[in-house]
A and B are shown apart, each in its own frame.
Chain A
């Protein structure tokens, strides 16, 4: 998937790094119908993993109740300027995306 799938920012404020992530994903519940009254199949992110310099810091499981184009903020202690935060998602149709950002 295209590398512009995720917009990320990781900013050190005091001793805490705030990471903001905006993903591009339809998050279809599988309950919605199209204009021809056909069910739109479920298509949603199930797993999100975040790492700091390769070490897992956050593991999330999501259902269909996360809004379209998912937004996520989390906070890390012990991160320094120049460290790498990486976020990966996997959806129910086997698609995935990964993006890295440097802490600033």
Chain B
């Protein structure tokens, strides 16, 4: 093998190794779901269909948030075989906030802090097997936290 060919081959391989993880990352993040401005489109991108209302999804949020920049949300699913929990805020500029996938003994439970632009429902969708379940709770927002 010519030295030039060898260098080309090696630099090609290095470029591939550098680019591959970025591609893998881009694939793992659901761009369409997170960038849409419509809740229904976000759900479509997450392949959510025929969701049923369920009281077995427990959502803990404040009734009123002074500052929409930090609203603590706790979600617990009592639905058997819960695989994922998605958190959406209907009236945010981009409604999908987060999508959590649980495995290997992780309980379907999560606490996080989110931004809310205005008074809105905080909607949670749970995937269990091939079924989807949903529940929602309203939060009154006194000051826009989306900036």
- Interface residues, chain A, with chain B CB atoms under 8 Å away: 16, 29, 31-32, 46-47, 50, 52, 55-68, 70-79, 90, 94
Contacts and interface: CB of A to CB of B under 8 A. Distances in A.
Most-contacted residue by chain A among B69, B71, B72, B101 (CB, 10 A): B101
Contacts, number: 114
Interface stretch (B6-14, B105-113, B134-142): B105-113
A29 B111 contact: no
Contact of A66 (B35, B97, B101, B102): B97
Given A57-B103, A74-B100, 9 more contacts: A55-B104, A56-B103, A57-B106, A61-B99, A63-B96, A64-B115, A65-B96, A71-B111, A73-B111
Contacts of B71: 67
Interface of B: 22, 25, 28-30, 34-35, 69-72, 74, 89, 92-94, 96-107, 109-115, 145-147
A62 B105 contact: no
